[in-house]
Amino acid sequence: MADKQEKGYSQKKRMLHILVVVCLMFLSLITYLLYFNMFEAKEVAGNPYNKRQWEDERFVKRGNIYDRDGELLAETVVNGDSRTRRYPKGNLYSHVIGYYSRVYGKSQLEMAYDKELLGQGDITLSFQELRSGYNLNLTIDHDLQQYAYQQLGGRKGAVVALEPQTGKVLAMVSCPDFAPEAAALEKNWNTIVEREDAPLLARATQGLYAPGSTYKIATAAAAYDTGRIAETFEDTGTFTQGGMKVDNYGKKAYGEIGLKRGFELSSNFVFCTLGYELGPDKVKETAEKFGVNKEIPFDISVSRSKIQYKKIEKEDAALVSIGQGQLLMTPLHVAMMGASVANGGKMMRPYLVDTVTTVSGVKLSATKPDVLYQSMTEDCAAYLDDLMQGVVKNGTGSGARISGVTVAGKTGTAENETNKDHAWFVGYAPAEAPSIAVAVLLEYDGGAGGSNAAPIARRVMQKYLNSMR
Amino acid sequence: MARFKGLNYRRPAYLLILMNLFGFGLLFVKNSYDTKMLYVGAGLLGLFLILYTIIVLCRMGDKFIALMACMLITIGVLLLCRIDLSFGIRQIVWVAVGGIAFFVAYLVYYHIRFWDRMWMVYVILGTGLFLATLIFGKTINGARNWIAVGNVTVQPSELTKILYIMFLACYYSKAWDKPLGRITPKWGTLMVTYLFIGFLVLQRDWGTILVLFAIYIFMTYVYEKNYGFLLMNIAAALVVAFLGYRFLYHIQVRVSTWLNPWEDISNTGYQITQSLFAIASGNYFGRGLGNGSPGYIPEVHSDFIFAAVCEEMGVFGGAAIILLFFLIAYRCFKIAILAKDAYDKAVCFGLTLMFAVQTFIIVGGVIKLIPLTGITLPFVSYGGTSIVVNFVSLGIIQAISAKEERHGGEKGGR
């Protein structure tokens, strides 16, 4: 009897154990459901295979996209139940506006401004009537974009033009590109994806490159900060430190030169020495002042420029100071760096979408210019302005000279994993009252920035200045 | 019996009435004032009220389990009507049949006293049903577990779950203690378990296998004094599961789509990804009844109804369903623990586990917590057999609860 009692007791206890297990089972269901909703749902819902995303569009005519002068860049043609997204400018905006496909989803502005283009948040009284989404008016100058595209002439690379005072993107070209209309995209997708030159990569915003000597702008700013602008250097043509050797471009030795002349001639010796002596901390701090290692808030997604060292040594600091080593930046970011000098040290937040308007033209929102970083003091910017003018006047950047206009700039020829260097130029004009800043990158170009990239930048700036007159 | 007079039994019923009024009212408006929705809603509510009134008036034990089941049915029927009105209407017919089955099961279970002596009957009936399925069965969605009777298809494996539980209870209540030939009851139950599982493997009904085996393991844990037998079973299951994974393509696909459904969205991962899209689109509060797109989810009316609930009523709606199931399980546990008769205790415990495990398996599968195995969500999913069998189980639990309530401390009825 006692045995039975005892057994009954333990049986009840074990039943309670099972109750606890069942509790935990249900609890795990709820926990996982909440976890899924908090951390995974957004990405899952945005998957192009989720057909729900296309539902709203049955009743909506997706908004148009215009350049700053009202030039049509993207529209939706409605034919009965079918909707076709058309891009009248062909490939030109494939890396700015992106594509819009039921199979491969959306990209760039089509993705980022999906809600606005669909006119969501609008109160509708009728479900059956075709509604119009909102239009986007970009800061892009279509003529300049077209011109920059021609100047690139099919070469791999990117051209980014900004308005220094506001951060407005005037032109942003990445090459190679692709035909963004859904029908063409879906037909060519596999070819596009497999092509070795990666046409889907938006080089201007998502390509990461060693900035090369254009980065000496930041190093010169650090030198100004630490009061080292009056020093002279004994340039032997090769910077040697602890087994590491860095030659000047073309292995030239410049002898005794100051910082200004070193900048104009783009002496690696001078800037490696500076970087080495400033030390890793100061070099990293300077880079971060210019926004390296930080996200750039932009209308479309931008890769983060970065210094990829786990632990940065003094030799690494020397390399970073001339834009080599593990320092990588996007062309957009290099353009912003140049524009910040033109704007008295204020790096503006770049933007593409100027206003969002309804079909009837009512302005719903307008982007306001905003200072992203004070990357240097105003005095320092003035000093750098002088240096950069010198580069074009009597340095490596002579290819960017425009008669009657003072141009400031910096060239770069960046070594990379191949034996063909990237050619860079970043500059702005007119130096007295800058209205445009341009960065040009020619990927794996093999030539020098001064001879190959600078002329493109010159022509783009000239075109823009002429159009303003 | 003061609590019969108070609000105690009325207030939760109001919630049910409100849910029906709002739900069907909304569908009525949403479907451009289709009066059929109102009739359906009224019909369903009428059935619930009759059911509940009888339970309360006849003092049939625990009043709230059936009420919570009615709430689950309401949610299910609302979604079914919204997906396809004809599903909803047929489901209501099944709810009516199930309601009758509920009272029949209640009365039969309550008044017959020799359930614990019939273990042989359960085994023969169960085996017979399996054989009939294998011979006459139809394959629907990869599982050969349907029999067509006239123009109705029934799923005998639903019924075998109850038979299996009643069989297990015979042994665990010590009513079956004489060995059959050389086979002791302990090994007998083991053999029958694996026999049933073997049949289910032939039918490719992995969900039911999991339910039966989980019930067996949990019951073994509660009733077997030492852990040796339990551990042996678990070890055997692990070996079998591993072999199954190695050699059965079906299982490999299920595991790989569970680990990464995104790899093959248009093919093997289609079902689960569609389900996840629905849940992800619903967010916390859902897109609203009638605003979602359950049509994209395959099998949305049966196995995947939980995904549709999450889309239209949100993750909180889904959590509410899980909590309702938990409350049902909790009250059933209480009945099982309080039951005096050993056989009643074991049956009630087994049926409780059936509800709990089945819910966990299908909800876990639909939200990708565990690999997906097709099985119905009790009371919510569309399906005649499922609804009737669940009502029968509920009737049995109700009878056990009524015995307890009426006879109190005495040995109930027997």
Domain ranges across chain B: 1-112+266-414, 114-222
pLDDT band at A189, cuts 50/70/90? confident
Average pLDDT over residues B217-237: 89
By residue count, chain B amounts to 414
Tell me what percent of the residues of chain B surpass a pLDDT of 70.
Answer: 95
Average pLDDT over residues A261-287: 89
The pLDDT, as a whole number, for residue A2 is: 40
* Chain A residue closest in CA terms to B296: A51
Contact partners, residue B412, CB within 8 Å, separation at least 6: B339, B340, B341, B344, B403, B404, B406
* CB contact at 8 A, A306 and A132: no
**Cβ-Cβ contacts under 8 Å, A37 against chain B:** 279-280, 283-284, 315
Residue pairs between chains A and B whose CB atoms are closer than 8 Å: 103
| Chain B interface residues (partner A, CB cutoff 8 A) | 218, 221-223, 225, 262, 265-266, 273, 276-277, 279-281, 283-284, 293, 296, 310, 315, 318-319, 322-323, 325-326, 329-330, 333, 336-337, 349, 353, 356, 359-360, 363-364, 367-369
Q: What is the mean pLDDT of chain A?
A: 87
CB-side neighbour CA atoms (13 Å) of B157? 28
Distance CA A356, CA A365 (A): 5
Cβ atoms within 10 A of the Cβ of B108, count? 14
Cβ atoms within 10 A of the Cβ of A31, count? 13
CB-side neighbour CA atoms (13 Å) of A11? 21
* Contact assignment for A34 to B315 by CB distance below 8 Å: yes
Average pLDDT over residues A389-417: 89
C-alpha distance from B159 to closest chain A C-alpha (Å): 23
CA angle, A381 then A386 then A388, to 5°: 90
pLDDT exceeds cutoff 90 at B349: yes
Average pLDDT over residues A7-20: 81
* Contact assignment for B280 to A42 by CB distance below 8 Å: yes
Chosen from B271, B274, B322, B366 to mutate, greatest number of chain A CBs within 10 A: B322
The pLDDT, as a whole number, for residue B143 is: 66
Phi-psi region of A243 (alpha: psi -120 to 50; beta: other; left: phi over 0): left
A28 touches chain B (CB under 8 A): yes
A11 touches chain B (CB under 8 A): yes
| DSSP structure string for A56-93 | GGGGEEPPPEE-TT--EEEEEEEETTEEEEE-TTGGGG
Report helix, strand or coil for B217. Answer: helix
The pLDDT, as a whole number, for residue B141 is: 64
The pLDDT, as a whole number, for residue B142 is: 64
Average pLDDT over residues A296-318: 88
Q: How is residue A304 annotated by DSSP?
A: P
Q: What is the mean pLDDT of chain B?
A: 88
Average pLDDT over residues B145-154: 75
Average pLDDT over residues A24-40: 94
Q: Which of A4-18, B3-17, B203-217 has the highest mean pLDDT?
A: B203-217
pLDDT exceeds cutoff 50 at A284: yes
Average pLDDT over residues A399-404: 88
| DSSP structure string for A376-402 | S-HHHHHHHHHHHHHHHHHSTTGGG-B
Distance CA A57, CA A389 (A): 52
Tell me what percent of the residues of chain A surpass a pLDDT of 90.
Answer: 44
pLDDT exceeds cutoff 90 at A251: no
* Chain A residue closest in CA terms to B224: A11
Question: How many Å is the Cα radius of gyration of chain B?
Answer: 21
The residues pairing with B88 across neighbouring beta strands, listed in sequence order, are none
Tell me the one-letter amino acid at B356.
Answer: A
Chosen from A9, A26, A32, A44 to mutate, greatest number of chain B CBs within 10 A: A26
* Contact assignment for B293 to A52 by CB distance below 8 Å: yes
pLDDT exceeds cutoff 70 at A6: no
The pLDDT, as a whole number, for residue A279 is: 87
The pLDDT, as a whole number, for residue B400 is: 93
C-alpha distance from A45 to closest chain B C-alpha (Å): 5
For chain A, the first-to-last Cα distance in angstroms comes to 109
pLDDT exceeds cutoff 70 at A126: no
Distance CA B71, CA B88 (A): 15
Cβ atoms within 10 A of the Cβ of A277, count? 16
By residue count, chain A amounts to 469
Classify residue A413 by burial, with Cβ atoms within 10 Å: 0-12, 13-18, 19+. buried
pLDDT exceeds cutoff 90 at B240: no
User: Of the candidates A259, A257, A254, A255, which has an alpha carbon nearest to the alpha carbon of residue A224?
Assistant: A259
* b/e A200-222 (16+ beta carbons within 10 angstroms → b): bbbbbbbbbbbbbbbbbbbbbbb
* CB contact at 8 A, B405 and B106: no
* Chain A residue closest in CA terms to B267: A49
pLDDT band at A128, cuts 50/70/90? low
Strands A353-357 and A363-366: antiparallel
Higher-confidence position of B353 and A182: B353
**Cβ-Cβ contacts under 8 Å, B218 against chain A:** 18, 21
Distance CA A445, CA A453 (A): 9
The residue with tokens 């030169």 is A257
pLDDT band at A208, cuts 50/70/90? very high
Average pLDDT over residues A261-269: 89
Give the predicted TM-score (pTM) of the model.
0.68
- Residue A344 vs residues A288, A379, A437, B333: alpha-carbon distances, Å: 18, 8, 13, 75
The pLDDT, as a whole number, for residue A385 is: 92
Please, where are the H alpha helices in A247-369?
A: 259-264, 268-289, 314-320, 331-342
pLDDT band at B20, cuts 50/70/90? very high
Q: How many helices (H) and strands (E) does chain B have?
A: 14, 3
The pLDDT, as a whole number, for residue B5 is: 46
C-alpha distance from B135 to closest chain A C-alpha (Å): 37
What does the block give as tokens for A68? Answer: 């700053």
Average pLDDT over residues A114-118: 84
* CB contact at 8 A, A326 and A417: no
pLDDT band at A121, cuts 50/70/90? low
- Residue A284 vs residues A82, A212, A348, A363: alpha-carbon distances, Å: 54, 16, 21, 43
Classify residue A38 by burial, with Cβ atoms within 10 Å: 0-12, 13-18, 19+. exposed
C-alpha distance from A87 to closest chain B C-alpha (Å): 29
Tell me what percent of the residues of chain A surpass a pLDDT of 70.
Answer: 96
* Chain A residue closest in CA terms to B322: A26
Q: Tell me the domains of chain A and their CATH numbers.
A: 206-352+369-468 (3.40.710.10)
Classify residue B84 by burial, with Cβ atoms within 10 Å: 0-12, 13-18, 19+. middle
The pLDDT, as a whole number, for residue A127 is: 53
Question: How many Å is the Cα radius of gyration of chain A?
Answer: 28
Please, where are the H alpha helices in A73-180?
A: 108-112, 114-117, 142-152
User: Of the candidates B198, B122, B84, B109, which has an alpha carbon nearest to the alpha carbon of residue B403?
Assistant: B109
Distance CA A252, CA A267 (A): 9
pLDDT exceeds cutoff 70 at A206: yes
pLDDT exceeds cutoff 90 at A441: yes
User: Of the candidates B372, B360, B205, which has an alpha carbon nearest to the alpha carbon of residue B275?
Assistant: B372
B75 backbone dihedrals φ, ψ, rounded to 5°? -60, -45
CA A59 to chain centre: 34
Cβ atoms within 10 A of the Cβ of B295, count? 11
* CB contact at 8 A, A213 and A395: no
Tell me the one-letter amino acid at A44.
Answer: V
The pLDDT, as a whole number, for residue A9 is: 56
Report helix, strand or coil for A138. Answer: strand
Contact partners, residue A249, CB within 8 Å, separation at least 6: A213, A266, A268, A413, A448
CA A216 to chain centre: 19
pLDDT exceeds cutoff 60 at B368: yes
pLDDT exceeds cutoff 80 at B180: no
Confidence check on the interface: ipTM exceeds 0.85, yes or no:
yes
Query: What residues 34-93 of chain A have any CB closer than 8 A to a CB of chain B?
Result: 34, 36-37, 40-42, 44-45, 47, 49-52, 55
Higher-confidence position of B13 and B8: B13
* CB contact at 8 A, A268 and A248: yes
* Contact assignment for B333 to A41 by CB distance below 8 Å: no
* Contact assignment for A19 to B333 by CB distance below 8 Å: yes
pLDDT exceeds cutoff 70 at A8: no
Report helix, strand or coil for A170. Answer: strand
pLDDT band at B51, cuts 50/70/90? very high
* Contact assignment for B360 to A42 by CB distance below 8 Å: no
Chosen from B281, B312, B360 to mutate, greatest number of chain A CBs within 10 A: B281
